[in-house]
Each structure stands twice: as structure tokens, then as C-alpha cells.
Chain A
């Protein structure tokens, strides 16, 4: 066979075209069913892979927030709270179908603005967004069976603040159950990733959703603070850092607002010596390198049984060498760009601390593009529970490897964190899965898989990972009050 001049593994570029996008030069705020100019100073949203400007985004100030909340209140009082569940469900089904129709456009926008690989936005994010709307559309006329007794009632106006790691998916997690339960919404996407939410606003117009039922306002932290502290808001739902979650818990205390918080994590991915090793290695990769590790439930602590540590780490390194870092829009890219310079700096800082504290650093050999924000997949071995890289959430493609000797030690190390969002267990023994899962203090536990999401399954944390559940029937409870005890959130009854 003649030798090939280039390597087959240097797959020829296969970029997804951006021609499907039809972006405006600048975007206003989406209030009362239309785009309106903002009072605040506008800012650019950039592609983290190229640092090039994509479009100009409006910034909502306190007055804009007033307008958005007022629009949501009007829509709640006049339309949405009086509409039948079956009719609300029709709107949600319509939104779900439109998301599917415009799936490719949404995936391209998401990868462009966020930096995540197109194969993830195309195969994970956007299909899950549609699934979430389909799932909660089905609930809209069945709220009597949500576990809150007969005739449960909506809370009112929900203020929702979402993060940059899964911009459109987190929007769906927030909006779909809120609308199914009869609430209206003011939502603020993250400052660095507003693009897909603005295309979603166009979808709401296409779906003919009554004005004011969903209002999308863009801006930075002050906009979010003005929104969650607005006196006419009944419900606050936040996904993001534990530090901001704490501030929200403080500022909403005693206001009568219902609050759900989905915060950070430092999940343990536990690999026993009887695990299916090849699949466990895939699960470790999917656990921490999916979405560049920008996942609150990422399996950032690998707890591997000491007698198989060397083998697992060797296989893991070999596997990581096949990961392809680069253009997020290339269909063969596995690792995209870090979302922002700020986040990249944090990942670098914590990785340097890991090295300084004595852990051994290994970085996958890959070429780093000259422009943009990038961090190659990195593993730390010899990590001790006292190291900061074993305790702090890095929120990047960095894995800390710790060992254990017995199931009891695995459980105690896994639980030894202020967080408690998720965990993973790898073993061929079903009985061991059940026994260990029973002892783990984490909201989501995956067995022989990791980072799998389904709208029917509740998701949420223990301890400093937050409170409340999203997804499934439990996710409805965050947006409903029981019909027989309606006095707890007086605002909604006005």
C-alpha cells in the first residue's frame, strides 16, 4: 500500500456553514413580544474561538427591568393565568416544533457564541431543548397530578437568571416548566452568551406567544441583580456560581419570593476495579471533557480504586490524545474554546495552584490556535483531598485523580465536599451500584454512564450545590403552589 502523504487522522476540515444565520447588527431587549431599545450602554458579544465580534447586545438598566416585569405581570393577569392548561400546552408544543425546525441555526449560533463544539450543540443541546418543551407541554393540562393536590396555582412572575455554559438548554430548563405551570417569565441570559436566547425570542414571535408571557433581557450582573431584587417578582430561579447563589439567597430572604438555586459542583466519578474499563474511560472523558468541562455536574474528581489506577490513567491518557481541539464549528471538533478570557484565567490559576501543591500535571498534546481562549485537556494525578484542585470547582477541562482502597473510603471521599450536585459509579456489579448510591450525598447519581440528561428526570443539588429540582414532575413544584394553601405568595393573587 502506498504511504499516504498526510495522516488520515488529520481529517480534512468539515466546518458547519454560518450562512444559515441571519443575524442583526444589533439587538434590543425582548419585552412585551417585541424588540425594544434599552437604556443601558450596549456591548459586543464575541466568538471565544476567534475573539471576533458577532453582534451588538443591549444592556437593560433598572428602568428596563421595570418595563419587563410590568409586561410579565400584565400578561400573567390578563392572559396566561386565565388560559386553560390545554391551550398553554399548545403554545409549548409549537415552540418545541419550531426549535426542531430551526435546530441547525440554533446549533450554529450556540457554538459561535459559546465556543462549544458543533457536534455537542447539534446532538445534545438543541435536541434536549426541544425535548424539554415537548415534555412540559404534556404537563400543562395535567397539573392536578403534579403532586400538589387539586387545582395547584401558578406563582406569578418568575425572574430567571441563567449561565453561559448551556445558554439555550438552561433557558429551556427555566422557561418550559414555568410556562406549563402558568407563570410568566423575565429571563436574563449570561452576558457572554445572549445570542441563542435572542433567536429564541424570534421563535416566540413565530409561535405567536401572547406578548409579555416571556421577556428576554440582556445585560451583566447588575441587570440580573435588578431583576431578582425587583419587588413585583414572585419567583427567582438561578443557575450559576455558589457565590452569586448566596447573594441571591440573602437578598430574597424575607421577601416572600420562592427561590430555587442550581449552583456549583465538584462531582466524584468513582471507578471500581470491577468496572467495564473501556467504557469507564469513555465515561471519565464524557464526565469532565464534555463542553470543555464547563458543566456544573462535571465529574471533576476521579476516584479510582488504587489497584487499577495505573491502568485507568494510562488508558485515559491514550484516549485523550485522540481528542481534537479547535474550531467549534468543525464537525470533528471534540474540545472547543473556553467561553471567556476571565474563565480561562481562572482555569489557569487553579491549575498552577495544583502544580504548586504537588500534584502531577499531564496535558494532552494538541496544537492551540493563536487567537481565542483555549485550554488543552489536563489531568492531575497524585491529588490529595486537601489540595485546592480537589475542593474548588475549576469549571474547565481539568481532571483531578484521587485513589481509594475500599467502597467505604470511596463513599467518604466522594461526600467530602461542600457541594453535592452529582456523582458517578462504575462497576459491573448492580448490587454495588445500589449500595454505594444509597450512601452518596448528591442530587444526581449516574451508574456506568455520566452527563446524561432527560426532561423526565429531576436534577438538582445537595448542600452548597443549591436547592430545588428542575426536570420531571419535581421541576413543576418549583413553579406551583398548592391550591388549598394559596396565601403564601400573596403577590400572585392580585
Chain B
């Protein structure tokens, strides 16, 4: 692996030979060929993008459509706790909630995954037991800032995978991206992907967090999305949840457009995960509409779309109870975790 060496002015720095990038850009990947490719992407008009997102947000999802949507949201939630104060007890409580979101209605589906820090993975794995159908996702690579050496990031990833994480949520090096060092960002993703490899040759799923709130412009989000897919990401994810703004509808729409373009180009399906700031069913349904009308409803499944959220689940459960009983209950009728 060529790693994250700083490119020299005198020799072309070859980038890690990621299969997707070679297929789309061509062999002998260099910083320059990657840059030319990313700069050739069509621009994004912010006003137009936001207007489109707002118009998707006006869809009126009622009755049977709403019932289906609420269950679909639960199935696509990565139930998350990412606090310095996380303990084994807290993680166990989160897992119990993931397995039985609503003890008053056992027809409620389970969430897609629990998302925890790497050192909490063993507790999550133990609490879930065998064949729960709920994945363990671990944030890695010096989450949330990503400010550490590549060696540390790779160890962080390998530790979590070895402890039984099914999915790795990595952060990109936003500093390198904003400095224009796209090759460094690219090589790091390729290396982390390789660190997701298990002894049996299978891979933990890799979600690449762009931290769109720090990339700031929609043009940057489009470039970073494209770069992450080229480098081998299985999912592109908006945010860590530690930076504001986190997952906005326009940013998610834009990332879905990139995924749609990638599918059109290669036939390959990439997942999208908005994370942070989505707290109500009403908001989450806007995201479902945006997915269905941008990439197609085929994407409305946990392999291709996730919500990174914690408080969202209880609001969905309240709405779900309202649909089945016809009346609103209240916060004491859903469990705190």
C-alpha cells in the first residue's frame, strides 16, 4: 500500500489502486488524475437544490403509506449512543431497546443496528447475542475529528472489527480535503477499507462520514461523496452528529443524486446514511420521500439507507401507537434507554 505519503513536486504520487477508481478514471491513479476527475463533476446550484428538497418535503404521507413508512424508518435506524459517558450498562440498555423497541406492541420491527464507540463493541455484541438480526456498527478512525495518524486510525478500525463489529463508520480527513489533498483522503479510505477485512476474508461494511457541516459547500459535498465511493465506501454518511448542521434534507438529496449517478454509470448500489438532527417522524418521512423519488424505492431498505439517530425512534413509536389506537399517548408510554 502506498499509504498517505505527501505527494512530492517531482514525481507523480500514485494512489492506492482502488478497483472502482481504476475502472472509472483509468489505471495509474495519481493525485492529478483524481483531481481532474473530481473537478469535472457538474456544479451544484444551492438555491435550486434547496428548493427541490423543500418541494419534496411537502409530500403528504397519510394512512397506509404512513404506516408503512413508520415501520420502514424503524428498520433503517442505527440506534446510536456516542458519548464520553457511555458505559456497559448504557450500551445494554440501548441494545434492549434495539431488540424490543416497543414492549407494548411486539409487532414492532427491530432497528437495523446499534452504533457505538469501538471499545463498547464487545458489550454490544454480548448483549445482542446470536442471530438477533441487529448489526453492531462502530465509529472508528479517531471519530469524530479524525485528527490522528493513519496507523492509529487503522488500529482503531481493526480493533472494532476483531471485537465483532459488522459495520465501521469512519470519518474522512476534512482538513486534508479542504487543503485540496484529495489523494490523502482517498488513500486513507482505501486503507481503512482494507482494515475492515476479517480473517475469513469477508469485510465489515464501511460507511464513510463526510461531516458535511465542515465541508460547508454543496460542491464540496458532491466531490467528497464521489471520492468516497471511488475509494470503496459501501455507504456515504452525512455527519458525526457532533457538528452543526448535521443531516439536512438538501445535503442528503445531493448525496442521493451522486449515488443515483454512480448507479447509472456502473450499475452498483451505494448506501446513504443521514445522521444527526433527525428527531421526528415527520422529518424522517421527508427523507423517505426524497430517497424514493431520487434513487427509487428500491433504496428503502437497511442495506441501502440508514438513519443515524437516537431520539427519532421514540417519536416514530408514538406515531405508530397513534395509528393503531387512534389517539396520542405520551412520552411515558415509550421507554427511555
Contact check, B44 vs A279: say whether CB atoms are below 8 A apart.
yes
Partner of A8, one of B43, B44, B48, B65: B65
A450–B146 CA distance with the chains assembled, in angstroms: 42
Could you mark each residue 213-227 of chain B with 1 if its beta carbon is under 8 Å from any beta carbon of chain A, else 0?
000000000000000
Closest to A11 in B: B65
Contact check, B66 vs A12: say whether CB atoms are below 8 A apart.
yes
Q: How many residues of B contact A (CB 8 A)?
A: 30
Instruction: List the one stretch of B54-62, B148-156, B173-181, B183-191 in contact with chain A.
Output: B54-62
Contact check, B65 vs A119: say whether CB atoms are below 8 A apart.
no
Closest to B52 in A: A282
Contact check, A278 vs B62: say whether CB atoms are below 8 A apart.
no
A52–B112 CA distance with the chains assembled, in angstroms: 50
Contact check, B65 vs A428: say whether CB atoms are below 8 A apart.
no
Q: Is A4's CB within 8 Å of the partner chain B? A: yes
Could you mark each residue 266-308 of chain B with 1 if its beta carbon is under 8 Å from any beta carbon of chain A, else 0?
0000000000000000000000100011000100111000000
A421–B61 CA distance with the chains assembled, in angstroms: 38
Could you mark each residue 1-40 of chain A with 1 if its beta carbon is under 8 Å from any beta carbon of chain B, else 0?
1001011111111100000000000000000000000000
Q: Is A101's CB within 8 Å of the partner chain B? A: no
A8-B288, A276-B42 known; A332+B60 contact, CB < 8 A:
yes
Closest to B112 in A: A1
Partner of A14, one of B44, B51, B62: B62
Partner of B48, one of A1, A331, A449: A449
Q: How many residues of A contact B (CB 8 A)?
A: 28
Task: Provide the residues of chain A in CB contact with B60, threshold 8 Å.
Answer: 11, 14, 331-332
Closest to B41 in A: A277
Contact check, A283 vs B302: say whether CB atoms are below 8 A apart.
no
Task: Provide the residues of chain A in CB contact with B72, threshold 8 Å.
Answer: 1, 4, 8
Q: Tell which of A14, A279, A322, A448 has the most Cβ of chain B within 10 Å.
A: A279
Task: Provide the residues of chain B in CB contact with A9, threshold 8 Å.
Answer: 292-293, 297
Number of A-B contacts (CB under 8 A): 79
Task: Provide the residues of chain A in CB contact with B59, threshold 8 Å.
Answer: 11, 331-332
Q: Is A51's CB within 8 Å of the partner chain B? A: no
Contact check, B65 vs A279: say whether CB atoms are below 8 A apart.
no
Contact check, B297 vs A279: say whether CB atoms are below 8 A apart.
no
Task: Provide the residues of chain B in CB contact with A409, threshold 8 Å.
Answer: none
Task: Give the contacts of A415-466 with B (CB-CB under 8 A).
Answer: 428, 448-449
Task: Provide the residues of chain B in CB contact with A449, threshold 8 Å.
Answer: 47-48, 51
Contact check, A279 vs B52: say whether CB atoms are below 8 A apart.
yes
Task: Provide the residues of chain B in CB contact with A448, threshold 8 Å.
Answer: 45, 47-48
Q: Tell which of A6, A277, A280 has the most Cβ of chain B within 10 Å.
A: A277
Task: Provide the residues of chain B in CB contact with A8, threshold 8 Å.
Answer: 65, 68-69, 72, 288, 292, 297, 300
Extra contacts besides A276-B45, A278-B48, A279-B47 (16): CB < 8 Å: A4-B72, A7-B297, A8-B69, A11-B62, A14-B61, A14-B62, A123-B58, A274-B43, A275-B42, A278-B49, A279-B44, A279-B49, A279-B52, A280-B48, A331-B58, A449-B48
